[in-house]
């Protein structure tokens, strides 16, 4: 059970890192800075991979356990699970904010592209009119 407790603590540490990475990038997103978005998602993916590995180790340890678990260890595991749940809820709330910022930025980019296309059409139309005038002369 000691190993399971240790792995649960490790998992929560990774969840805290994930939360911290989100928090840092949310500050950038709020300022309109999306320059590091690719690195941000890569970092998140790596942390999630580590969490998945820890989950696998926890599962293996649980399968090996044959002796009873003391009440103290059960309470410690329950505390760690409650902490995990709190972190996951906080991360989900952050993810909703991240999605909101990304969607806003995506809308802004689409608006800019449409504006650029409209401007290009106007310039193209103007150039066509100017060419026609030059040919008439």
The residue to which tokens 């059970």 are assigned: 1
Give 64-81 pLDDT, tens digit per residue: 876 777 888 889 999 999
Going from N- to C-terminal start, the domains of the chain cover 2-96
Q: Considering only residues 87 and 108, tell me which one the structure prediction assigns the higher pLDDT.
A: 87
Give 3-42 pLDDT, tens digit per residue: 889 999 999 999 999 999 999 999 999 999 999 999 999 9
Give 47-60 pLDDT, tens digit per residue: 999 999 999 999 99
In angstroms, the CA 54 to CA 44 distance is 15
Q: Please give the pLDDT value at position 37.
A: 92
């Amino acid at each position: 059970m000691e190993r399971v407790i240790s792995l649960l603590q490790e998992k929560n540490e990774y969840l805290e890192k994930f939360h911290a990475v989100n928090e840092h990038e949310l500050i950038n997103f709020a300022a309109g800075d999306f320059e590091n978005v690719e690195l941000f998602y890569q970092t998140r993916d790596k942390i999630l991979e580590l969490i998945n590995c820890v989950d696998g180790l926890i599962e293996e340890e649980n399968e090996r356990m044959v002796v009873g678990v003391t009440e103290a260890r059960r309470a410690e595991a329950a505390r760690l699970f409650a902490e995990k749940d709190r972190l996951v809820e906080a991360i989900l709330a952050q993810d909703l904010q991240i999605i909101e910022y990304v969607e806003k930025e995506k809308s802004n980019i689409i608006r800019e592209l449409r504006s650029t296309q409209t401007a290009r059409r106007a310039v193209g139309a103007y150039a066509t009119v100017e060419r026609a005038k030059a040919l008439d002369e």
